[in-house]
Structure 1
């Protein structure tokens, strides 16, 4: 069965913070709800230390994942069922469905566990 990953416009509503009335307002980045598990710099150990925020981008909504050391990765939130794409385009990004409404996004030697709405694709 082919499955697609969909990220609604208010991706933040699941676990990444609340969407405000003004979608172009300040990014969300406060409180425990904004933290996601990440394994950075090739580590296999996931820790809930990365902060997330969504904001407008050149190609629609963007997800930014901030590392505790000040580093970050930016992803374009795609609306065609592919999920995320690196906004900077430098590193290959893969998405693995974990189940329970979660995915694992890996880009270079960093990995993130993020909430997602996963729906079966339409049969043609």
Structure 2
């Protein structure tokens, strides 16, 4: 009886374990937190939505993330996030924006990942 109880406990604990692996996507520059410098340490995950729209998930190095919707040339935060402030929008150099003190740089549209 003890062996089966231990096996069930091990099975139950393994079901609660976090998923392994880093987020998949393109590495982008970000500066997370007050006074942080830009570094290529965030991961940009792109998910296609209906025509003309795309969901962007930016994964922070510490495990946090932010979600946005890109509709043509407009970027909108999701999940009740604080508003974003556009710093630079240039077809050649990309987009730079801030949300609640965190700063992000997205590559120009159409850049290879």
Q: TM-score range by the shorter chain?
A: 0.5 to 0.7
Question: Matches of residues 78-89 of structure 1 in structure 2 within 5 Å?
Answer: 78-79=71-72, 81=73, 83-89=74-80
Looking at structure 2, the residues matched to 91 and 45 of structure 1 have their Cα atoms a distance apart, in angstroms, of 21
Flag the 1:109–1:57 CA change in 2: closer, same or farther, 3 A. farther
Within the alignment, does 1:74 sit opposite 2:71 as a pair? no
Larger relative contact order (CA 8 Å, sep ≥ 6): 1
Runs of 4+ in 1 over 3 A off after TM superposition: none
Deviation, 1:102, is: 1.8
| 1:53 paired residue among 45, 51, 54 | 45
Long gaps (5+) in structure 1: 1-27, 118-124
Superposed CA offset, 1:53-90 (max 9, x none): 111458x42000000110000001112x3x21001132
SS at match of 1:61: strand
| 1:108 paired residue among 94, 100, 109 | 100
TM-score (normalised: structure 1): 0.59
Looking at structure 1, the residues matched to 89 and 38 of structure 2 have their Cα atoms a distance apart, in angstroms, of 14
Within the alignment, does 1:42 sit opposite 2:34 as a pair? yes
TM-score (normalised: structure 2): 0.64
Long gaps (5+) in structure 2: 1-22
Stretch deviating more after TM superposition (88-97 or 60-69):
88-97
